[in-house]
Structure 1
Amino acid sequence: MLNAVTDRLSRLGRFLWSAWAGLAGLCLLAALWQAGHETYGSFILPAPLETMQAALDLIRDGEAQELLALTSLRAALGFALAAVIGTLAGVIAGYSPAILRMARPVLTVVIGVPPIAWIVLAMIWFGASMMTVALTIVISATPVVFMGAVEGVITRDRGLDAMAEAFGAGPIRRFLHIASRQIATHLLPALVLALGSAFKVAVMAELLSNAGGVGGALARSRSMLDISGAMAWVLLAVAVLVIAEYGLLRPIQAELERGREAARPWGVKR
């Protein structure tokens, strides 16, 4: 018990310590942003500190919390539906080559239609509502999750499955204890990509359909040529996405992939 707690705490410490590399990347991005500001001026690209101050003003005024919560709710709803539908369909198609062959042309058609076209169709069907945003996210993100689940199923180590079957493990137990962890290796990166797409599509759908949220705030900033305000809303939306990704999906990914630690060059095989 003590060893398990110690091992979990050490993995958490390594996960938190690895944030320094991410912070270094963000600092580099901020430096390039500042260079662009000094080259083109505030009207084209406000300074990072100016944008952060505008974002803090939005939070202080109380406007940002409500709009960010609305956009996050819509993005989370669309992402959850895409994750469930894409995972279930991908696992079924991965175990059934016939279904996979039929699904691939459909995926090509769905991916080939740009998200803005789905937004227009959803606006006609549902108007400026949450369903417009959620449907656009589901259609845009489901193929990514589907292919991640399929890739996890078809690349799994069938030898481990056969060994577990030889020791008397049933199909459900083999799937839960062996196949699911191998599928998660490919599925979780697809879910991370789908989460980012969910927030981007949500903001775009809100902006085009005038459905409120961060997209509606961006539309108002555009109409008033408020460049600092527009950049502040973008910064806040990205901050919420980073919190959602590194507060939810990345820890789950690290937990499920803990068995691969020994295979790393600096790992200790046990």
Structure 2
Amino acid sequence: MTKLRDTSGRRQKMIAMLKDLGSIQVAELSRQFDVSSQTIRKDLDFLCERGLAERSYGGAISTDVISNGNEPAVEAKQVINVEEKRRIGKRAAEMVVAGDSIVLDSGTTAMAIASHLPDLEDITVVTNDFNVLSILARKEHIVAVMLGGQMRRRNMAFYGGQTVDALDALHVDKLFLGVDGFDLQRGITTHYEPEAMLNRKMVSRARSVIAVTDSSKFGRTCLHRIIDVSEISALVTDTDAPDYIRDAAKTVGFELYEA
């Protein structure tokens, strides 16, 4: 791209790139427009102030594909896609067998899985979610392990260094990973940075990672990346999943279960 020092023209081109690509990077923009990184960062600040983008590490993401500022509280999530989450929870729970140790992260889909788990003594469930723990407490035989830390009341779950460190001594068979965003290019993402950090640690302690999400999350990108789609072993979703998700299961190499 030729040198473009006209500020207005450069920013218009950056807006077009955001709409086309979904995200842009400071280093690449600096090279293409032949201006300093500092100038590009000022441009990105300008776009963010006008609600066109959100800053990310090394660049920015279009607000057309990001929703980090609009995370609903857990009470609101409990009345969204209720039937889909029930079916997903039931199907995911059927993947748990006697002798398994599993992690359920926070969220309403995790609560649905907990509700459908068989009440067996030789199943161990690790969670950081207070509501998940409350469901497990009503089952007489399942072994429940609660990760400590600082409680975030917005979703009634625990986060922080203490929560992450508690996983160091654990090895589990399966992680059921709820997501806020699932995009084939940008990966699996969430609204809340401490949650992304904790989820990555959970991934590192699990033999298999099973993403659980209703189809409304496909194509959505939130600010904080957890892992790439290629790092999951399986995906449990509803029957409204788009065809490109079914194609990705074959090309990327994860098992797909539709409930």
**TM-score, length basis structure 2:** 0.26
Question: Which structure: greater strand fraction?
Answer: 2
CA radius of gyration, larger in: 1
Greater length-normalized contact order (CA 8 Å, ≥ 6 residues apart) = 1
With the length of structure 1 as denominator, give the TM-score of the two structures: 0.25
